[in-house]
Amino acid sequence: MTYAVPVPTPPSLPISGSDTLFPVRRVFCVGRNYGDHAREMGADPNREPPFFFLKPADAVFAPEGARGTSPTVPYPPQTADLHHEVELVVALGQGGTRIDPADALGTVWGYGVGVDLTRRDLQAEAKSLRRPWDLAKGFDLSGPCSALRPVSEVGHPDRGRIWLDVDGKLRQEGDLGDQIWTVAEIITHLSRSITLCPGDLLFTGTPAGVGALARGSSVTAGIDGVAELSFTIA
Ligand code: MN
């Protein structure tokens, strides 16, 4: 078989302590999964079913600096209000349709921490015009993510501090236990709409404190006991 244009290298994330890569198939992101963030965005956090948007698979990447330099993420075009959203990232090792809640965590390969970078001004415009969020959320390099860690190392984290610093100052802080929809519930819910596959990632929503990044902002984010991620906006 030949192809008309060069076949792209599959997007992937590194695995902590391993030379093996995790291939990224699709990236499903949950909106408003912490009550305090839903409120800060002007929404009612109570009992709204989870909703989803997607990023392109190649929007997700692990920022790496050349030897002796810190990793950088470019400030994207077409925005004057780039926001950070720190999120627990779930990497699926198995797929399925109509996954039973009791079986949902069995599909998880591992976890990491990612930042759902958002062109907030474009998102606000899309919301007001009832248009899709794709270009507000799914731009190039909009999903910096840590190396992944397998369930055999970190278990299934359902409690623990999730946080993000900008220039050494705490901006976002929450607890995984405050998620409105658990990882298992998210998997079950999504699998009723589409067939989940190995390699799919879930960005599971962000706690309160989202805010703007500027060129030169130094971001450090983490989930205690799971992973950390650092990069500078260039
Ligand atoms: Mn988000």
| β-pair type (143-144, 169-175) | unpaired
Q: How far is the CA of 131 from the centre of ligand 1 (A)?
A: 17
Q: How far is the CA of 118 from the centre of ligand 1 (A)?
A: 8
Report the alpha-carbon distance of residue 49 to residue 188 in Å, rounded: 12
The answer to whether residue 1 sits within a structural domain is no
The answer to whether residue 3 sits within a structural domain is no
| β-pair type (218-223, 161-166) | antiparallel
The answer to whether residue 2 sits within a structural domain is no
The pLDDT tens digits along the chain (234 residues) read 899 999 999 999 999 999 999 999 999 999 989 988 878 888 777 767 889 999 999 999 999 877 777 899 999 999 999 999 999 999 999 999 999 999 999 999 999 999 999 999 999 999 999 999 999 999 999 999 999 999 999 999 999 999 999 999 999 999 999 999 999 999 999 999 999 999 999 999 999 999 999 999 999 999 999 999 999 999
Backbone angles phi, psi at 85, to 5 degrees: -140, 105
Report the alpha-carbon distance of residue 218 to residue 196 in Å, rounded: 34
pLDDT for 44 = 74
The answer to whether residue 184 sits within a structural domain is yes
The DSSP call for residue 157 is: -
pLDDT for 222 = 98
CATH label of the domain that carries residue 94: 3.90.850.10
pLDDT for 121 = 98
Q: How far is the CA of 93 from the centre of ligand 1 (A)?
A: 22
What spatial distance separates the first Cα and last Cα of the chain, rounded to whole Å?
A: 40
Backbone angles phi, psi at 137, to 5 degrees: -115, -25
What is the enclosing helix (H) or strand (E) of 36?
helix 35-40
What is the enclosing helix (H) or strand (E) of 104?
helix 101-104
The answer to whether residue 178 sits within a structural domain is yes
| β-pair type (201-203, 27-31) | parallel
Q: How far is the CA of 17 from the centre of ligand 1 (A)?
A: 27
Q: How far is the CA of 2 from the centre of ligand 1 (A)?
A: 38
Alpha carbon distances (Å) from 209 to 35, 85, 154, 199: 12, 8, 26, 30
The answer to whether residue 4 sits within a structural domain is no
Segments forming the whole domain that contains residue 70 = 12-233
The answer to whether residue 114 sits within a structural domain is yes
pTM above 0.85, yes or no: yes
Q: How far is the CA of 102 from the centre of ligand 1 (A)?
A: 26
The answer to whether residue 179 sits within a structural domain is yes
Domain count, the chain: 1
